[in-house]
Structure 1
Amino acid sequence: MKSPTKTLVAGIAVLATVGALAGCSAGGDEGAADGKTELRVATFPPGADAAAYEAFAAQEKQFEKEYPDIDIIGVEYEWEGPTFAVQLAGGSLPDVFTVPFTDSKTLLENGQLMDVTDAIDKLGYTDKFNPIILDGVTGADGKIYGFPRQAYAAALHYNRDLFEQAGLDPDNPPQTWEEIREAAKAIHDATGKTGYAQMAINNTGGWQLTSQTVARGGRTQTDNGDGTAESTIDNDATKAALQFLHDVKWEDGSFGSKVDLDWGTINQEFAAGNVGMYTSGSDIYTALVRDFGMDSSIYGMTVVPMEGDDPGTLGGGDIAVISPTVDEKTKAAAVTWIDWYYMQKLMDKDAAVLDAKTLNESGQAVGTPLLPVLSRELYDESQEWIADYINVPVDQMAPFSDRIWDQTPVGEPKVKTQEVYALLDTVVQKVLTDQNADIDALLAQAQTDAQSKLDE
């Protein structure tokens, strides 16, 4: 944990940096009069540490030196499913921002994303994308509506310090769901801390239930290939995932008292050392350190256990997109920024090294394991380019890195994704708050409700 003094100093530093960014905005009007294009771009969620803003400021300076006709204005930003549509409709989003793969289909169908097909073709890397990932930003019209910039796989994150206190080997984390349950009880019995936690609100409960269904060989939705889908929530794998939660909570007492966690709050609890294990995307190490102040020495990551006849690891990620309301001049500037800030470091050695060096010198994480947005070969090559600047505890992530390539990636459900996730939130919450919850009845009702949404 940070001391109050360090937190105050960090807060002052962040405010100073934000003030500098705001200064760019205040001076932007004059810049616009001189022919500069002001571009409002997403930076970090509220609460990011001073080092994150320092790194962004350094990158902003590098970009503006190369493109002096564009004035970058950083805007704090965090995607949240329940409020995103309101922000977008109200025009309060930046010109360039990021959205999860799961929302891209709905947003582009609603005309809420900018067509960037010509820009991607002109840049010459349309064919370099992983086809599965590119599909997430391709509309029914065949046009591309965003730049896939980061992908992740499902992972089990665990606290190495709590493992040791419980007599567990942090270098040999659980490899089955039953071993996770046993480790959770050992942690809780030895430390009094939550052995295992799970997200349950703001669509994250449905997200993780879907992830664990896939890991157990099931699927919650079948894609018909024509924009429609069939709900398959009521299956043995989903039932097993809910039974696991019931048993950890009610039979073992290892779950803890907090059953209303989402992405932000579960990260906060884990970073503070209050949670032994939880599942999420493999990309969260940066946020845990940067936004939640985690001591990197406690961190461990491994793959999610696979079981059943057709198991897989639920993949996801986000895309850089452009607001559909911007004019052509701003769109051109936005494409230039996305290419420079997000894309070039994935495919160009000089850009990759500059990005890694800048982040490293600002104390930001470099080398967190991800799934390749482009080819695996290019991803592996890029890791070699930045080897001198990788500063994350790769040995503590080895249980994930060594095994993830043996797992089959599975994309998230494509139709009414977030709406169905919201439905499943209530199922997860019921199991975690009612010891006598009827899982079969809950799944049957969720199946009916989900299909009604898919049929709309």
Structure 2
Amino acid sequence: MRTPWSRLAACCTAGMLAITAGACSSSDSSSDAADGKVTITVTDMPPTTQGTLRKQFTDQVAAFERANPDIVVKPSEAVWDAKTFAARLAGGQLETAFIVPLTEPQGLINRHQIADITDQVKSLPSSDQFDKRALAPGTDAKGHNYGLPTSEFALSLVYNRELFKKAGLDPDNPPTTWDEVRQDAKAISEKTGLPGYAQPTTNNTGGWTLTAMAYTYGGRIEKEEGGKQVAAFNDTPVQQALDWLKALRWQDNSMGTQQLRDAGEIQKSFSAGRIGMMMATPSTYVDHITKYNGDPKIYGVAALPSASRSATMLGGKMAVINPKASPAQREAAVKWIDYYYLRAKHDPAEAGTRAKAEAADGIPVGTPTVPLYQPAVSGPVDKARNEHATVPLENFEPFINGVKQQEFVVEPAVAAQDVYAALDTAVAAVLTRKSADPQAELDKAEKKAVPALERAQR
């Protein structure tokens, strides 16, 4: 049986959320019923084509209503779509609580399109123990809360522990800087004849990973000018990241010869034992085991290496509230968010129960996630989950220890997928043509991205 929480634990891929149809009643004070009950609408209900998951979701709704008899929950299949959001909000068709990618809350806050839920958040269990880095995408300059994270991921360095051993490297001490990655990649390539490091170049994943690298050099792919986001491809940190890749490819010959691949294709080769290191999320362990039949023992994860600063790309989703919701609806919606998304992240008993069910379901248990709470809360939760772990926990320790100190930087806020697509071409050019000039290729990529950025901000 697939559990509802296993659905929540599924890996979030960068930048894109699908759309399904779904409209619901206006979320205004008229839903505060005369009988003392308050009605809210919520998103994330699986479609009818996913019957088992849909039933599990509605069972959770029923359990929540039993625990909160003064609240009525009306679920919807609708999910975030930037193209229709404004029209749905203006037409009163937006749910009380809805889920958005982490790139969106700051813009929604600035446009007053989501509700301030600071007071409601304070009433939640362990609210004073939230990790401020996890809350930051939904927090304004005054420290007011406008959203709660439901799932977050941080990019990391995934490495083959067996290839490390064959190259004379210590798999328990993976590289922590890009200079060390370069050294280790060269050692792996020379000792094994396999690529020591692989970087994707297609399907927007080349631009995605280059962006994450730029963050570690202290840069950004977009910057604000005149109240709008503009491309920052030619800022020094982006060039430094691309220069680093060129050096690995052509000076060190440690990236192999097959360069036109996306992240999924690289992961498949990694699981087959054919790549030393790659950039990915720890959750790719699930595909490593279940999709590609990879050896659990070879899979190691470290925090994303640093250059000039310790930073990583933060992705995921956040729950926000309709600005038209009444105070009672805001309170009810925040309770629902906590019940459905957050309980297992702050309640050790709930975490253990869900982990036990996931293990019985054959779902890998124990892969690390970005902590949403401080160690005083996340520590006991992790301990409860790890009692049912089905993964080699020690292989994830370098990531767990490293990510605690990192700065979290979200993906580009405007036209991220168009930006990534443009950057794909620069990464591919540098890795396939020795004569390619990184700065010239970034100039070309920026020209491709500018129209998309302008269209998105009209």
3-state DSSP of counterpart to 2:103: helix
The equivalences for 1:288-437 within 5 A come to 288-308=288-308, 311-321=309-319, 338-405=337-404, 407-412=405-410, 414-416=412-414, 418=416, 419-437=418-436
Q: CA deviation at 1:356?
A: 2.2
3-state DSSP of counterpart to 2:155: strand
Contact 2:154 2:370 in 1 (8 A): yes
Question: Aligned residues, how many?
Answer: 409
Aligned residue number for residue 92 of structure 2: none
**Which stretch has the larger CA shift, 206-215 or 161-170?**
161-170
CA distance in 2: counterparts of 1:175 and 1:141, whole angstroms:
34
CA distance in 2: counterparts of 1:287 and 1:115, whole angstroms:
38
> Residues 276 and 322 of structure 1: is their aligned pair in 2 closer, same or farther, counting only changes over 3 Å?
same
The equivalences for 1:55-454 within 5 A come to 67=65, 99-105=100-106, 120=121, 123=124, 129-137=130-138, 146-222=147-223, 228-229=228-229, 231-251=231-251, 252=253, 254-262=255-263, 264-308=264-308, 311-321=309-319, 338-405=337-404, 407-412=405-410, 414-416=412-414, 418=416, 419-446=418-445, 453=453
Contact 1:312 1:410 in 2 (8 A): no
Contact 1:128 1:374 in 2 (8 A): yes
Contact 2:315 2:411 in 1 (8 A): no
> Residues 258 and 98 of structure 1: is their aligned pair in 2 closer, same or farther, counting only changes over 3 Å?
farther
Which structure carries more helix by proportion?
1
**Which stretch has the larger CA shift, 422-431 or 60-69?**
60-69
Deviation per CA, 1:275-334, whole angstroms, max 9, x where unpaired?
2211123443345434544332110112233233xx12124131254898xx99x99998
> Residues 191 and 74 of structure 1: is their aligned pair in 2 closer, same or farther, counting only changes over 3 Å?
farther
CA distance in 1: counterparts of 2:117 and 2:424, whole angstroms:
34
Amino acid at match of 1:194: P
Amino acid at match of 1:312: S
Q: CA deviation at 1:136?
A: 1.7
CA distance in 2: counterparts of 1:132 and 1:227, whole angstroms:
25
Contact 1:303 1:400 in 2 (8 A): yes
Deviation per CA, 1:252-289, whole angstroms, max 9, x where unpaired?
05234142303x44333323333221112344334543
Contact 1:114 1:321 in 2 (8 A): no
Contact 1:130 1:372 in 2 (8 A): yes
Q: CA deviation at 1:175?
A: 3.6
Aligned residue number for residue 28 of structure 1: none
> Residues 98 and 362 of structure 1: is their aligned pair in 2 closer, same or farther, counting only changes over 3 Å?
farther
> Residues 146 and 38 of structure 1: is their aligned pair in 2 closer, same or farther, counting only changes over 3 Å?
closer
CA distance in 1: counterparts of 2:363 and 2:306, whole angstroms:
32
Structure 1 unaligned segments of length 5 or more: list them: 1-9, 19-36, 47-52
Aligned residue number for residue 50 of structure 1: none
Amino acid at match of 2:366: G
Q: CA deviation at 1:113?
A: 8.1
> Residues 322 and 413 of structure 1: is their aligned pair in 2 closer, same or farther, counting only changes over 3 Å?
closer
Aligned residue number for residue 33 of structure 2: none
Contact 2:188 2:195 in 1 (8 A): yes
CA distance in 2: counterparts of 1:87 and 1:348, whole angstroms:
36
> Residues 108 and 434 of structure 1: is their aligned pair in 2 closer, same or farther, counting only changes over 3 Å?
farther
Deviation per CA, 1:122-144, whole angstroms, max 9, x where unpaired?
75776654344334235899986
Deviation per CA, 1:91-115, whole angstroms, max 9, x where unpaired?
9xx9998654125556788999899
Q: CA deviation at 1:413?
A: 5.3
The equivalences for 1:43-58 within 5 A come to none
CA distance in 2: counterparts of 1:41 and 1:274, whole angstroms:
38
TM-score (structure 2 length as normaliser): 0.68
CA distance in 1: counterparts of 2:82 and 2:222, whole angstroms:
24
3-state DSSP of counterpart to 2:366: coil
> Residues 435 and 129 of structure 1: is their aligned pair in 2 closer, same or farther, counting only changes over 3 Å?
same
Contact 1:97 1:321 in 2 (8 A): yes
> Residues 39 and 268 of structure 1: is their aligned pair in 2 closer, same or farther, counting only changes over 3 Å?
farther
Contact 1:282 1:370 in 2 (8 A): yes
Amino acid at match of 1:350: A
Deviation per CA, 1:160-216, whole angstroms, max 9, x where unpaired?
223334443322323443432343344345545433212333433222112212223
3-state DSSP of counterpart to 2:387: helix
Amino acid at match of 2:297: S
- What do you get for the CA RMSD once the two structures are aligned? 4.9
CA distance in 2: counterparts of 1:164 and 1:73, whole angstroms:
51
CA distance in 2: counterparts of 1:215 and 1:227, whole angstroms:
25
Deviation per CA, 1:226-250, whole angstroms, max 9, x where unpaired?
9644644323332222122223333
Structure 2 unaligned segments of length 5 or more: list them: 8-39, 89-94
Contact 1:204 1:421 in 2 (8 A): yes
> Residues 411 and 38 of structure 1: is their aligned pair in 2 closer, same or farther, counting only changes over 3 Å?
closer
TM-score (structure 1 length as normaliser): 0.68
3-state DSSP of counterpart to 1:134: helix
Amino acid at match of 2:268: Q
> Residues 38 and 216 of structure 1: is their aligned pair in 2 closer, same or farther, counting only changes over 3 Å?
closer
CA distance in 2: counterparts of 1:186 and 1:258, whole angstroms:
20
Contact 1:41 1:95 in 2 (8 A): no
Amino acid at match of 1:316: L
> Residues 112 and 442 of structure 1: is their aligned pair in 2 closer, same or farther, counting only changes over 3 Å?
farther
Aligned residue number for residue 4 of structure 1: none
